Amino acid sequence: MKQVLIDRYGTPWEVARCAEVPDVGPPAADEVVFDVLAFPINPADMSFCRGGYRLKPPLPATPGAECVGRVTAVGADVRHVGPGDLVINLQRENWTQRRKVKGDDAIPLPAGIDLRQAAMVRINPPTALLMLTDFVDLAAGEWVIQNVANSAVGRLVVVLARQRGLRTVNVVRRPQLVEELEALGGDLVLVDGEDLAQRVAKATGEARIRLGLEAIGGAETGRIADCLATDGTLVHYGSMSGIDPQVGRSNFVYRGVKLTGFMLGRFMARRTPQEIRAIYADIAKQVMAGTLSAPVDTVYPIERIKEALAHADKGGRNGKILVRPNGALQ
């Protein structure tokens, strides 16, 4: 079977290759085997290839934080999924044609769900959801501010916030995104810049913004902090610039702004397996209904992984780059 391998850490499209490896074999009693139908290339996967991610396994290694698959075989003790079912996998190493995992790591999805969207269910939707629920107890009508508003996470934040009656200030780096994000439900869409805090204050009528979501780092983190109310909370959850957050000290000393961070695994670990399945069941329902989705730019076959990675690295895409290891999604 085919599998993506990286032999060294470095530029993703230089270090990754599509290799021929032995099949995974039949499942043990507590295991599930599934064909990988699609996986997205996420920013964290790019960092993984570069060796900049928190996990840096011995080489050769297979990247891939998420995927959607179709079960081909289950062990005798596995009850919650069976052959033919669609699943997402809570474990990594998904850039491959077939996976064998513990039954508890295979979360069932409803039949008929759009496969492209299903491939992106595991990480970004719960990230957007838990960042809105787990830090600040916001009441309907309150504002949330975020940057990378055009990212998959950012777009999900817009929709999930609106469902809760929250209003969003969405900060982007390209003016051509304003109309599109307003149409999605963003209340305010502003292009980042030095005077961001003044523009936000004016446009929101000096609203007390108690939650900020930030995934760039550097001075961009500081500009979101400057927009928050006294005692507000700023959640740093990604590093698109690769630079550590730079936040003016007056935010902390004079205004008591709290800077904290989010990692999905850490927040999921606070929940029971039943609660986790319930979160994904609700997300899957919303994906089926078409209320939650992420745009897809291009889908590549696994043999063209290098091209897919180079494309994923380019700014200004119209959505995610996906890969179809088994010919589905054609």
Ligand X SMILES: NC(=O)c1ccc[n+]([C@@H]2O[C@H](COP(=O)([O-])OP(=O)(O)OC[C@H]3O[C@@H](n4cnc5c(N)ncnc54)[C@H](OP(=O)(O)O)[C@@H]3O)[C@@H](O)[C@H]2O)c1
Cα 73 off chain centre by = 28
Which of residues 68 and 215 has its CB atom nearest to ligand X in the complex?
Answer: 215
Which of residues 33 and 46 has its CB atom nearest to ligand X in the complex?
Answer: 46
Among 215, 247, 292, 323, binds ligand X (CB under 6 A): 215
Among 173, 255, 258, 271, binds ligand X (CB under 6 A): 173
Phi, psi (rounded to 5 degrees) for 191 = -85, 135
Establish if 94 lies at the interface with ligand X (CB under 6 A).
no
Q: Yes or no: say if 176 and 161 are a contact pair by the CB < 8 Å rule.
A: no
**What is the signed CA dihedral for 165, 166, 169, 174, rounded to 10 degrees?**
-50
Smallest separation, CB 79 to ligand X (Å): 30
Which of the residues 107 through 166 are near ligand X (CB under 6 A)?
Answer: 123-124, 127, 148, 150-153
Q: At what angle do helices 43-50 and 305-312 cross, to 10 degrees?
A: 110
Label residue 30 exposed, middle or buried (CB < 10 Å: 0-12, 13-18, 19+). Answer: middle
Which of residues 33 and 118 has its CB atom nearest to ligand X in the complex?
Answer: 118
Smallest separation, CB 266 to ligand X (Å): 8
Which residue stretches of 39-177 are H helix?
43-50, 115-118, 124-133, 152-163
Establish if 237 lies at the interface with ligand X (CB under 6 A).
yes
Establish if 48 lies at the interface with ligand X (CB under 6 A).
no
Site size toward ligand X (CB under 6 A) is 26
Binding site for ligand X (CB under 6 A): 42-44, 123-124, 127, 148, 150-153, 173-174, 215-216, 237-241, 262-264, 315-316, 320
